[in-house]
Structure 1
């Protein structure tokens, strides 16, 4: 209602500008949503119908491909593997990244700037460029064909950006919160766990989405380090649906539809934290 009042009392130029912006936003949203919608409807059509009418609605929707993909194509196993890798990687990233960010943001000591620069260098340098020494390191540690190999790699990739982002959130929290907690007898870990972490939930949501989506969609590292079919993640498992001479596109689109569900749920559950104030309600 407030938005309607502001729009009705604004000038003509501003109204035109608002309408243009809203129109562009709607067009952009359609460009994002329609390919997902088309992917879903293609999962309900046979391959021949997809090739003949790729953008049409299915003549007779068929859901049998979901059972075939989930059970016969071992997609359930690929899905569970991706869940294990993503969840374990994010636990390491959030725990160690938030601790390091809190230490950098709140404690000034000799060499603190150097440590900050070391974390920043982890963002600048792509880990894939060091794939050969990384492969030799993983092999020497005996972690080849193990979930731990990709979990440690993803954690190493995500911690630098997490430290960089969360350090800014920790620095923006009023220092009076910590002073009040110390007067009540709280130690450093208690302040970090029960005072600081709840306050920076928007930052936690940001780094979770920022890191979880690339980990979930990563094809390169699971392909290099996970060789057993029972350990393959979703992107690698989906590649087996593509044949050398022919491809069952119904199964491909069905697998893609199932694969995007967890990330959509993640965005849905965490989107509310982006609109909350950083320290809203922290100081009464």
Structure 2
């Protein structure tokens, strides 16, 4: 009994740290949510507590009178398309690099993951010229190629490492049975790397969804704007209706939270893979 109590007391500092971290994470979400139900003036009275009178007009106005649904649709299409391409390309690249027995495989691997150390924003002017040449300027289709380039380095890094952890005997047995490389990838590799794919998707979802830099540079047409770029319309020169801004941001956070909750188990498996041996 005494040993059990000692072990429990040993975890108390960890629990305290976790509680503090939970508060730090949830407090901005709390402020975001409760202030989205206040009016433009009452938001300044007590910004950290629930409103005296709940105001749903912010959400009604945004959904009915604004272009929120158009902005949301544009962001959704861009992000989903980018994530699908990133996960497919990086899973194929990870499988190829993990199976490629050559002195050049390490060179191509480090060449791909070098993008993790080079911020893509430094090439914004050149990317703008390329986008204009391709005729994609002022369209949402100018964004997926940029996001795919952003997501490939970390995706290759995670998935190549994950595929290398898969026992070689599984693939060798499949080859002996007459399976092609494509069938091995489809029947063996993909089911086993599902946690890593979830990790790559969630890791890239947030910077894709929250990106304002490239939509601001590439898109001026109103019906092609993404969600965060559309939010900038609510910022006035002399005053800003923060309650409506927070309402839009609350709605924009729902897809990120929904995807994380849907894939949380796979995400945890992916980030903890290899932490326990045996």
Unaligned runs of 5+ in 1: 280-284
* TM-score normalized with structure 1 length: 0.91
Q: What is the rounded CA distance, in whole Å, between the counterparts of 1:95 and 1:57 in structure 2?
A: 44
1:217 maps to what in 2?
Answer: 210
Q: What is the rounded CA distance, in whole Å, between the counterparts of 2:48 and 2:114 in structure 1?
A: 45
What is the deviation of 1:148? Answer: 2.0
1:65 to 53, 58, 83: 58
Q: What is the rounded CA distance, in whole Å, between the counterparts of 1:115 and 1:190 in structure 2?
A: 24
2:200 to 207, 218, 229: 207
1:189 maps to what in 2?
Answer: 182
Q: What is the rounded CA distance, in whole Å, between the counterparts of 2:267 and 2:252 in structure 1?
A: 24
Q: What is the rounded CA distance, in whole Å, between the counterparts of 1:156 and 1:182 in structure 2?
A: 33
SS of 2:206's partner is helix
What is the deviation of 1:161? Answer: 1.1
**Paired residue total:** 272
Q: What is the rounded CA distance, in whole Å, between the counterparts of 2:12 and 2:142 in structure 1?
A: 51
- Residue deviations 1:45-96 (CA, integer Å, cap 9, x gap): 1111101221121111121211111221111111111100000101110111
Alignment of 1:62-101 (within 5 A): 62-101=55-94
What is the deviation of 1:11? Answer: 5.2
Q: What is the rounded CA distance, in whole Å, between the counterparts of 1:110 and 1:49 in structure 2?
A: 65
1:114 to 97, 101, 107: 107
Q: What is the rounded CA distance, in whole Å, between the counterparts of 1:250 and 1:227 in structure 2?
A: 25
1:232 to 225, 237, 241: 225
User: Is residue 200–residue 278 contact of structure 1 (8 Å, CA) maintained in 2?
Assistant: no
Q: What is the rounded CA distance, in whole Å, between the counterparts of 1:31 and 1:122 in structure 2?
A: 31
What is the deviation of 1:245? Answer: 0.5
1:282 maps to what in 2?
Answer: none
User: Is residue 199–residue 278 contact of structure 1 (8 Å, CA) maintained in 2?
Assistant: no
